[in-house]
Amino acid sequence: MTPMDSPATQQQNMNKQQRVEFIDRRLAQLYPAPPVPLDHSDPYTLLIAVLLSAQCTDERVNQVTPALFARAATPATMARLNVATIQGIIRPCGLSPQKAKAIKRLSELLLADHAGQVPETFQALEALPGVGHKTASVVMAQAFGLPTFPVDTHIHRLAQRWGLTRGRNVVETERDLKKVFPEHRWNDLHLQIIFYGREYCTARGCDGRVCEICRTCYPQRKHPKKIRKA
Query: Is the CB of residue 134 less than 8 Å from the CB of residue 151?
Result: yes
Domain segments of the chain as ranges: 3-35+149-217, 43-142
* Of 42, 58, 101, 134, catalytic: 134
Higher pLDDT, 3 or 224: 224
Q: What are phi and psi of 66, to 5 degrees?
A: -55, -40
Give 160-192 pLDDT, tens digit per residue. Answer: 999 999 999 999 999 999 999 999 999 999 999
Query: How far apart are alpha carbons 177 and 158 in whole angstroms?
Result: 11
Task: Give the predicted TM-score (pTM) of the model.
Answer: 0.89
Give the architecture (CATH level 2) of 3-35+149-217: Orthogonal Bundle (1.10)
pLDDT band at 196, cuts 50/70/90?
very high
pLDDT band at 1, cuts 50/70/90?
very low
Query: How far apart are alpha carbons 41 and 122 in whole angstroms?
Result: 21
Candidate CATH numbers 1.10.3720.10, 3.30.70.1450, 1.10.340.30, 3.30.1360.200; the one for domain 43-142:
1.10.340.30
Query: How far apart are alpha carbons 119 and 122 in whole angstroms?
Result: 8
Give 103-136 pLDDT, tens digit per residue. Answer: 999 999 999 999 999 999 999 999 999 999 999 9
CB atoms inside a 10 Å sphere around CB 199: 12
Whether 134 sits among the annotated catalytic residues: the reply is: yes
pLDDT at 228 over 90: no
* Of 99, 101, 113, 152, catalytic: 152
Query: Is the CB of residue 227 less than 8 Å from the CB of residue 161?
Result: yes
Query: Is the CB of residue 43 less than 8 Å from the CB of residue 197?
Result: no
pLDDT at 13 over 60: yes
Query: Is the CB of residue 28 less than 8 Å from the CB of residue 192?
Result: yes
